[in-house]
Structures are given as structure tokens and as C-alpha cells.
Chains A and B, each alone.
Chain A
């Protein structure tokens, strides 16, 4: 099941199917769809961390990795992304949904 967002293929939950389709403008649009009107530098720190990690390791980081290694504390992560930091930051960063592994 897939649809498109601004001409780019996404899965049923709105995660990009092809991370290489990602642009900063697209990120802002996905963020608005997730109820985040403006991406602040703190948001960007988290989104870029997610994306870099995924590109380097092939796995999307979980919330625990974010809390430990992104440089943003857990409390603030939830203030920035109230609907779930790892999931929403992955969506905005154009990478697959973190599955927390099996």
C-alpha cells in the first residue's frame, strides 16, 4: 500500500519509501502534517541525528538511542515531538519507521 506526498512515494503511515527522495522542504511539509508548525534548530538536531544514524547503520534509532546519543534529553524530546519523538522525527527525516527491532 503506498500513496504519494508532494509527488514522493510514502507508505500507508506516511513514511518515505525512498529516503533519497528527501529534501528539507519536504521535511517541513511532513512536520506540518504531524502538527509541528515550525521546525526549530532543536527539532533539526534530532531529525538530522535520526537521518545520519540511519544512513550510517541501516537501522532507524529508537527513542532510547535518541535519549542517550542525540544530545537532547528525553523530557525535551517529548516536548519537541509530543506524538512520539523517534517515530515523528523518523518520518520528518525521511527514513523508515523505527521498529525497535524484533
Chain B
């Protein structure tokens, strides 16, 4: 009898439980393999929906479901707080002392926000004039505040990368423009977007396009702003370079880190408790029988649900290969695909991977009605349909029509790409893995 243990029953863990149960049906049904998934509670949160809570578009009941409803019958769901992993002894230890041995471990415990790590942020004024919307409590508190906002300066800010869904704060700024326009008070609200990056986004072509949209909507862009401290009484942020930014209402994306047990598990995490992971196979560097997926990894791609979905298409067969003693495939290419809500019933789509930045063009191939990096109503409709797709296609681990796990250049207008030839120490040695039985 072999044991697979999955840590975290969020987006990535749930997808993996569903995919593995199907891929290894025979072993699971015969009792040769059992799958256990661990989470601290029974509330599965559809996180992309958090963006819409402050604007009264979604409510709590629209975005929370029981985890049981999302998992297959054969998978055992265990509630508990993970304390650490004994990476050498192949066992997970929960805070109540229970221990779970495993043959294969999948770490899918995501990323968490750390508002307490920015000096002053959670002191005076927190959830009065300063909010986050990456938590359900924050998003709901912000909704009340936005409704009553009399006008003034609203600063949307990112503390530092990495964050989940790096476009979410931009989307918040765009939606705030739409929200106050609709209320007939846009002229009373000064909108500012403050980022530690030197541009509106991390990659040049998309950054230029998004900066243009900010300007069009009269949203001020402040770059290279690294917050050192927040003074909630004076309603001011101070940068490490001593620049100051005053606000009447602050909507911040706090610093992020991985789950703290990662830091307590030998050789598993980086400086911020993200799991050190092989870029192309998704095997953890800590041990051969540990794998990581989703926001929990340290991989240089977006922390997004779409990425977890693409990763799962590589990871599930790799787990089967590992169990059958066959070499792993180096198939993951960092593929990410995000709809950016831009307000006024429009959105734009970006599609990229480790090597190819978001480019303009048509999606998924030339002549398709969905433009890349251009606003459209169709993209907005797709973003709204995402909630249905999430519960009904993504979580059950089904392929999404038109979406392949690896990035495709079809329909994209290639820009000159800057490359450097220094060998990546984690580059693949072999390209193809063994066949999955």
C-alpha cells in the first residue's frame, strides 16, 4: 500500500486530488494506493472573486464552498494545522501531534499575506482607513468603507513582489475608477497606483500597455516606491528612500510569504518560506519524493490559479512516473494566462511563460475573436464566466477547451526578445520523461 499526502486543499491541491484519482484509478480502487489531503478548515475560497467583493458585485456566499463538495469520494480529507515535514523521514507532523507517513508528498499550501511585517500597517487605522482585499474580512470591511467614501485620495499599493495574481491591484484601481464614475463622484476622487516596480507591470510590453490604460483613466502612477513604514494616524506611507505618500484611503497588497511550516521543514524553503522547486519537473529540491505546486513554489512565474492548472497537467503524470520508477518529464514552461478586468465591462487577456513575455495578438490563434493585451467585452465576459469554470472545470481537473498546458505562439505578434546566454543552473538535462502507464 502506497500513500500520497497532499498538503492544502485549495486550488492546486484539489485539482491534484481529482487528477490523480482519475489517472491512477486502478491503484486507488484496488486499495494499492491511498490519497489523503490536509487542510485547516472546510471553507474553499474562490480567491479571484475577492476582487469583486469591495464593489458589491459578489458576496461571501458567491465565493465560498465546502471543500468536501470539491473532492472525489476516494480521497480522505483530514482537518489539521500542519506543523512541519520531516523531509528525511517522509512524515508530516500536525500541530496536534498526529503524524502522517507518505511515499509521495505534494505541497500545495499556497501563499499567505503578512500585513504585520510592514511597520505600522496593522496599527492605528487598519480596517478604518487602510485595507487589504486579499482576505475575505479585508474585502468585506473595504466594501463598507468604499460605499461611504466621501472623496479624497485613494492610494492602491503593492508592498513588494511576489504577490498572488500580480494584476489584481491594477484591476482594483481600474474598477475603482469605474465605481466612482458610476456613482457620479469620480471628480472627487484622486486615484494613485504606487508600486515597487519601475513600471506598471513586471514585463515591458504589458507594462507599457497597462501604463497607458492608467493614464487614460487618470490614475497617477508612482514607481519604485518601497514602503518602509505606514503611519495610520497621519495617513501617510514613508518609503525607504524617504519619499512620502499621503492617503485618505489606502488599499494595499501586503507582503506575501509561504506557509510557516515550510520554514520549519529541513531544506524545504527559501527566505520567504516558498518551496524551492525544480522549474520544469515541479519536484522539490529538498527530497526526491516531495513535489510542489501552485502559489507555494518559488518558481519565477505568476502565482495564479491558471498556473496551478497548467502545472497540474505536468505534475499528475510526473507523480505517476515517480511511482512507477520512470524518469520525470521536464514539461512545465511557466505558462500563465490572466484576464485583467479594466472596468466599464471590459477586460484584457495576457498569456505568457518563463521565456515569452505577454505579447499582443489574437487568442488562442490568429483570427480568434479574443484579442491579447487589448480591451474587449468578450474578455470581460470570460472573466465573469471564470467562477463557473473554476468550480466545474478547473477544480475537477478537466482540460479547458482552447487552453494547452504549454504556451503557444499561434496568433501572437512576436516582439524582439532580449536573451542572455548564461546557462540556467536549473535548466533541463533531458526534455522528455518516460511514458505514463
Contact = CB atoms under 8 A, between A and B. Distances in A.
Contacts of B197: 100
A102 B336 contact: yes
Interface stretch (B32-40, B318-326, B420-428): B420-428
Contacts of B224: 84
Interface in A45-61: 55-59
A96 B300 CA distance: 14
Nearest to A77: B240
Contacts of A6: none
B418 A102 contact: no
A101 B241 contact: no
Interface in A1-56: 1-2, 11, 17-20, 55-56
Given A18-B420, A63-B196, A102 B271 contact: no
A65 B161 CA distance: 10
Given A64-B272, A87-B198, A102 B203 contact: yes
Interface in B360-387: none
Interface string B402-433: 00000000000000101011101110000000
A74 B271 contact: no
Contact of B166 (A19, A74, A96, A102): A102
Query: Interface extent on B, as a size class?
Result: 20 to 34
Chain A: interface size category? 20 to 34
Contacts of B226: 63
A54 B194 CA distance: 27
Contact of A18 (B228, B336, B421): B421
B302 interface: yes
Interface in B280-323: 300-302
A37 to B, nearest CB: 20
B162 A100 contact: yes
A17 B418 CA distance: 9
A17 B421 CA distance: 8
A64 B160 contact: yes
Contact of B302 (A75, A78, A102): A102
Contacts of B279: 58
Contacts of B196: 63, 100
B240 A75 contact: yes
Nearest to B162: A101
Contact of B425 (A55, A64, A75, A102): A55
A57 B197 CA distance: 21
Given A65-B271, A74-B228, A84-B224, A18 B422 contact: yes
11 contacts: A17-B418, A17-B420, A58-B424, A58-B425, A62-B160, A63-B240, A74-B240, A101-B301, A102-B202, A102-B203, A102-B352
The 8 closest A-B pairs by CB, nearest first: A100-B161, A102-B202, A58-B424, A19-B422, A78-B240, A64-B160, A101-B300, A17-B420
Interface of A: 1-2, 11, 17-20, 55-59, 62-65, 68-69, 74-75, 77-78, 82, 84, 87, 96, 99-102
Given A19-B422, A65-B272, 5 more contacts: A58-B425, A58-B426, A63-B240, A64-B272, A69-B271
Interface of B: 160-162, 166, 196-198, 202-203, 224, 226, 228, 240-241, 255, 271-272, 279, 300-302, 336, 352, 416, 418, 420-422, 424-426
